[in-house]
């Protein structure tokens, strides 16, 4: 299973409590949508933890396609990509310099 299963075409409106953690199902297999029930076991998916900062109604994604990473994980992913690109560029320059000196 490499892509999530579409659990719903509409989001799930949930009243969350301030300070409480919620485990959003990322795989779409849970029978307790939009939350994880452990059905992701054996897949590459894990639930996304959301901690409510205030008590209010939240709409949790049901399609599992458009939102696969929360913003904080996206930022970490983009920072990782930037460092990887810098590393590759620096090493290419190093290799080019090394070949230039050998000639």
> Applying CB under 6 A, which residues contact ligand FES?
25-27, 29-30, 36-40, 45, 47
Taking the least distance from each CB to ligand FES, the nearer of 16 and 45 is: 45
Instruction: State the nearest-atom distance from the C-beta of 84 to ligand FES, in Å.
Output: 27
Instruction: State the nearest-atom distance from the C-beta of 34 to ligand FES, in Å.
Output: 9
Task: Measure the CA–CA gap between 23 and 34, rounded to whole angstroms.
Answer: 8
Taking the least distance from each CB to ligand FES, the nearer of 16 and 27 is: 27
Say whether the peptide bond before residue 34 is cis (omega within 30 degrees of 0): yes
Taking the least distance from each CB to ligand FES, the nearer of 26 and 97 is: 26
- Using alpha carbons only, give the angle 63, 43, 85 rounded to the nearest 5 degrees: 80
Taking the least distance from each CB to ligand FES, the nearer of 16 and 30 is: 30
Instruction: State the nearest-atom distance from the C-beta of 25 to ligand FES, in Å.
Output: 3
């Amino acid at each position: 299973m490499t892509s999530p299963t579409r659990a719903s075409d509409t989001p799930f409106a949930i009243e969350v409590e301030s300070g409480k953690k919620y485990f959003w199902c990322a795989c779409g297999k849970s029978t307790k949508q939009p939350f994880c029930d452990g059905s992701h076991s054996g897949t590459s998916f894990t639930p996304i933890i959301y901690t409510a900062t205030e008590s209010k109604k939240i709409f949790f994604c049901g399609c599992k396609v458009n939102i696969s990473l929360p913003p904080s994980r996206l930022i970490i992913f983009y920072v990782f990509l930037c460092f990887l690109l810098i590393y590759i560029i620096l090493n290419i320059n190093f290799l080019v310099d090394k070949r230039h000196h050998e000639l």
